[in-house]
Amino acid sequence: MSELKLPIYLDYSATTPVDPRVAKAMMECLTPDGNFGNPASRSHSFGWKAESVVENAREQVAALVNADPKEIVWTSGATESDNLAIKGAAHFYSKNGKHIITMKTEHKAVLDTCRQLEREGFEVTYLEPQADGLVDMDKLKAAIRDDTVLISIMHVNNEIGVVQDIKAIGALAREKKIIFHVDAAQSPGKVEIDVKDMNVDLMSFSAHKTYGPKGIGALYVSRKPRVRIEAQMHGGGHERGMRSGTLATHQIVGMGEAFRIAKEEMAGENERIRMLRDRLLNGLNDMEEVYINGDLDHRVPHNLNMSFNFVEGESLIMALKDIAISSGSACTSASLEPSYVLRALGRDDELAHSSLRFSIGRFTTEKDVDHAIKVIRQAVNKLRDLSPLWDMYKDGVDLKSIEWAAH
């Protein structure tokens, strides 16, 4: 049995450690006696050897998502992939129309890219999710216009872990002949991805959410049907002109190995992680006034997002110094605005401020979870003893009936 090592990392949705097998593969591509060549060098074996491992990694990434290796374009990460996909497709197809549909709960890499396109004269519809975090298909259908050229909907939400029905959205987009982009930064190794079956045109991936290194990602660009994008990065014409820049062999090899491991191990790993997540959930769910954010069934097993009413998230995190987690409260910004994702679900600001995101991963143990349950319960009780809102709740005061002075 492994010893309990503090602090406990429960923030795998922020990033994951690199799997030691991945790190080993990467280290073989750096030093003078390793595979350090430039994959674009055509005139010697250093280049050929590097190219060969890059293409092997491309196959590994493609294999996890049922793509053709030729459909995988290396980028610096999911943010770049989102930018390349959305701006690239919007610009290329702008002659057909300038309307884009996305969702309010998307990652900022998608939302801010859409904002930029608005400044360039595009129109963007930001769909409200249902209260469970999922896309309302009727609203999506209603939002489609004759000039809609792009739909961008994420696969797995980074905050609440809900999984969108990409296949249903893909079928709709294909029928309406609209380009469909999916931000899948959070999905590889957590849920099945089949770009063909899902009718996806463009899909963004990241390595570092799946036990690969930071600084590398990929964009799937469908060849059948052929989807075109305008390059955002110009230069030596790498990646068939879609993304210039010398390929980072070690990063790419790391992403390939990480995705290979994900494909081989995800079935067993997800079962184990689901068991740990349910253990965490059951250890907390009997407390008074706790709420689960987002649908629990359509969700990756790794994620639990809960609100502990009458306790503010940042102070809760401060009490939980033994565990590394994220909060939906943002008391560090001047606006004091809580998570925009939870607000889009229609959660009260109070509950959004009281939320914690736990994300479990490959190296989480049962002991970690049990310790987390213990310290969370202690911290919540301590802070509720300090909370005037808890007193009022206990006295039967309806907090909504009070006129608070917003500040």
Contact residues toward another protein (CB under 8 A) are 310-312, 314-315, 318, 329, 331-334, 336, 338, 348-350, 353, 385-391, 399, 404-407
Task: Provide the minimum distance between the beta carbon of 353 and another protein in the complex, in angstroms, as a whole number.
Answer: 4
Task: Provide the minimum distance between the beta carbon of 356 and another protein in the complex, in angstroms, as a whole number.
Answer: 14
Task: Provide the minimum distance between the beta carbon of 131 and another protein in the complex, in angstroms, as a whole number.
Answer: 18
Task: Tell me whether residue 235 or residue 346 sits nearer to another protein (CB atom).
Answer: 346
Calculate ∠ Cα 329-333-336, nearest 5°. Answer: 55
Task: Tell me whether residue 292 or residue 392 sits nearer to another protein (CB atom).
Answer: 392
* Other beta carbons within 10 Å of 286: 8
Indicate the DSSP class of residue 360: -
Task: Provide the minimum distance between the beta carbon of 103 and another protein in the complex, in angstroms, as a whole number.
Answer: 24
Task: Tell me whether residue 28 or residue 350 sits nearer to another protein (CB atom).
Answer: 350
Task: Tell me whether residue 162 or residue 379 sits nearer to another protein (CB atom).
Answer: 379
* Other beta carbons within 10 Å of 45: 10
Rounded to whole angstroms, the Cα distance separating 186 from 161 reads 8
Indicate the DSSP class of residue 69: G
| Catalytic, out of 27, 137, 331, 386 | 331
Catalytic (active site) residue 331: yes
Task: Provide the minimum distance between the beta carbon of 325 and another protein in the complex, in angstroms, as a whole number.
Answer: 15
CA dist 298 → 75, 161, 293, 294 (Å): 29, 8, 12, 9
66 backbone φψ class: left, alpha, beta (φ>0; ψ -120 to 50):
left
Complete DSSP assignment for 122-187: -EEEEEPPPTTS---HHHHHHH--TTEEEEE--SB-TTT-BB--HHHHHHHHHHTT-EEEEE-TT-
Task: Tell me whether residue 27 or residue 331 sits nearer to another protein (CB atom).
Answer: 331
Catalytic residue set = 331
